[in-house]
Structure 1
Amino acid sequence: MSRLLQPKTLLAIKDLSLAAKTVVAGFMSGIHASRLKGAGQEFSQYRSYQPGDDLRWLDWKMYARSDRYYIRESEMETSISVHFLVDASNSMLHEEAGITKMEYTRYLTASLGYLAHLQGDAAGLSVLHHAGLQTLLPRREAQHMARFYYQLEQIQPGGAFITPTAYRNLFTGPHTRQLLVFITDYYERNGEITTLLQTLAHSGHEVLVFHVIGEEECKGNFRGYDAVEDLETGELVMLEGGHNIDGYTKNTNEYINTLRTTLLNKGIHYRSLFLQEPLDKALRDFLNQRNKPR
């Protein structure tokens, strides 16, 4: 299927639910509880064929008896669209423990996309790239997932986070509520990422944010360096005098805690993930926590 799908990770998460925790496209809290007519397992009724219906569910015996096309309906659980938004700015090339933030993000997105597809949900992908927005609309077919994994593998980070004019297409088209999973290192200069997330949440979508960080990045161990370079702008930041590692770590932790609180207050779920954290463990811990009764 894809090199991004690691058996260890898939085995760890395959039995856990990614269902929306709020009402999303007819879903109630936590599970795919509501029922719709469709191509499920338990027979319910027949209905006349409509253009666009899946031909696999035509009942040929009914056609032979009546010379008319009928779809065999059954009760099935509703499904949702899970749309993955991937930050492809240049800071995602930061590397620790032999892996970049972008590569970690690829594995994370592929694993959650696989899980969504396994549950019968439509999976989509939007890459927020400096050159513009690249979008693969949510669909459920197996062939679509092959394109989904291929697009993930082809992402080439570059530049700064895209401007609002570049991602305005996220707010156009059918007004269907979705579960939006945003993966980012949350490097912003003027609140641009927070503004985007708030707009998405206000549009009625449920938003989950995975904040990918490196442990060394949080510690700020810059001994032996006179300056550090901004990966997105190329700007050099001079390190004048002694660098207080303890103070830097404390400020970083305070920033992350403030960010988490800010997003939760806006109805946006937040989870930080360290590059050094095994992905299978990180996802299982997250999904178990998410699916706990509240």
Structure 2
Amino acid sequence: MNQAASLRAQAETLGQSLPALLAEAEHLAATLMLGEHGRRRAGQGDEFWQYRPAHAGDPARAIDWRRSARSDAHFVREREWQVAQSVSLWIDSANAMRFSGDPARGTKADRARVIGLALAVLLLRGGERVGLSGMMPKPGRAQMMALLDGLQTEDSQDYGAADVTGMAAHSRAVFLSDFLGNLDVTEQAMITAADRGIRGVLLQVLDPAEEDFPFQGRTIFESMQGALRHETQSAGDLRARYLVRLAERKDALTRLAAATGWHYHCHYTGAPAQAALLWTYRALEARA
């Protein structure tokens, strides 16, 4: 089978699984029970947020006289900021994301797509504009269909490269990937984003086997595309060095996120997706 036919078959398989992924994502979003969305900042809007003591310079029309009458001080009634944010999702679809260390466990790509779609459900429900990288973020339930269409595209490379082209300045972004490829590519994307005022979240999705390295004896390690291959007679001897390299990669991602004003978190496909979704949602809101 040539590469074009292989990619077509992968796309058809993915297209058949997307409705199930959407159902799983909607169920996952529903389990969080976040209630009404709130940006928790003072600004233009209709919803009451808080009272604060009046300051010198506050206009008289800003004073809530009914609240002020109950004390010796004047208070200003603040409304919650309700300007919709644009959020772009980059969900890595490269070959490495199709790995699973256990046939009973879903792939990294499946988990990344479910979390990304569930996050989109929550954000769209809250009135935000959401899109995939390279797609115009839009509000509304109908946007979910556009997101599903966008997820049918497969990357033929072993490792994905985050794409920030087209992301609006001062918007928000979420990158979901294993981040095991060339870190320079990720670093350049984040520096470019930070220079344009884009802030967001790095969610690293790994399989438990990639954390535990449970290999012993003769083992053949091969990339998902087959371009890279390494055979060893004593895989257990590689474990210590591998774990050091993985820890170094996580530390590098943590430092990169801190330097650019982003948030980083590592999630394993063997763990429930709810915690990763909640963390991502809260981390994204912290920058809104």
State TM-score, norm by structure 1: 0.67
Question: In the alignment, what sits opposite 1:181?
Answer: 174
1:270 and 2:264 matched? yes
CA deviation map 1:16-42 (0-9, x unaligned): 7887xxxxxxxxxx6354216xxx799
Question: In the alignment, what sits opposite 1:57?
Answer: none
Whichever structure has more helix as a proportion of its residues is 2
Question: In the alignment, what sits opposite 2:157?
Answer: 159
1:90 to 95, 110, 115: 95
Question: In the alignment, what sits opposite 2:251?
Answer: 257
Cα RMSD after superposing both structures: 3.3
Consecutive unaligned residues in structure 2, runs of 5 or more:
1-17, 49-79
- What secondary structure, in the 3-state scheme, does the structure 1 residue paired with 2:96 have? helix
Question: In the alignment, what sits opposite 1:13?
Answer: 32
Consecutive unaligned residues in structure 1, runs of 5 or more:
20-29, 43-74, 127-134
What are the residue-to-residue correspondences of 1:98-117 with 2, within 5 Å? 98-117=105-124
Cα distance change on mapping 1:211 and 1:190 into 2, 3 Å: closer
The answer (yes or no) to whether the contact 1:90–1:159 under 8 Å persists in 2 is yes
Count residues in correspondence: 234
In the aligned structure 2, how far is the partner of 1:84 from the partner of 1:17?
Answer: 22
1:119 aligned partner, one-letter code: G
Question: In the alignment, what sits opposite 1:31?
Answer: 40
How far off is 1:260 after superposition? 1.3
Answer with 183-192 or 79-88: which moved more: 183-192
- What secondary structure, in the 3-state scheme, does the structure 2 residue paired with 1:79 have? coil
Question: In the alignment, what sits opposite 2:215?
Answer: 222
2:94 aligned partner, one-letter code: S
What are the residue-to-residue correspondences of 1:134-149 with 2, within 5 Å? 135-149=134-148
Cα distance change on mapping 1:136 and 1:186 into 2, 3 Å: same
- What secondary structure, in the 3-state scheme, does the structure 1 residue paired with 2:236 have? coil
- What secondary structure, in the 3-state scheme, does the structure 2 residue paired with 1:35 have? coil
- What secondary structure, in the 3-state scheme, does the structure 2 residue paired with 1:137 have? coil
How far off is 1:84 after superposition? 0.5
How far off is 1:179 after superposition? 0.6
The percentage of counterpart residues that share the same residue type is 18
1:236 aligned partner, one-letter code: R
2:88 aligned partner, one-letter code: H
Cα distance change on mapping 1:119 and 1:33 into 2, 3 Å: farther
Question: In the alignment, what sits opposite 1:205?
Answer: 198
- What secondary structure, in the 3-state scheme, does the structure 1 residue paired with 2:120 have? helix
How far off is 1:203 after superposition? 1.6
The answer (yes or no) to whether the contact 1:82–1:179 under 8 Å persists in 2 is yes
- What secondary structure, in the 3-state scheme, does the structure 2 residue paired with 1:204 have? coil
- What secondary structure, in the 3-state scheme, does the structure 1 residue paired with 2:142 have? helix
Cα distance change on mapping 1:18 and 1:92 into 2, 3 Å: farther
2:83 to 68, 74, 78: 78
State TM-score, norm by structure 2: 0.69
In the aligned structure 2, how far is the partner of 1:2 from the partner of 1:190?
Answer: 33
In the aligned structure 2, how far is the partner of 1:201 from the partner of 1:233?
Answer: 35
The answer (yes or no) to whether the contact 1:92–1:157 under 8 Å persists in 2 is no
Cα distance change on mapping 1:289 and 1:180 into 2, 3 Å: closer
Cα distance change on mapping 1:17 and 1:223 into 2, 3 Å: farther
1:234 and 2:227 matched? yes
How far off is 1:221 after superposition? 2.4
In the aligned structure 1, how far is the partner of 2:285 from the partner of 2:147?
Answer: 26
Cα distance change on mapping 1:16 and 1:179 into 2, 3 Å: farther
How far off is 1:231 after superposition? 2.6
CA deviation map 1:177-200 (0-9, x unaligned): 211111111022362122212211
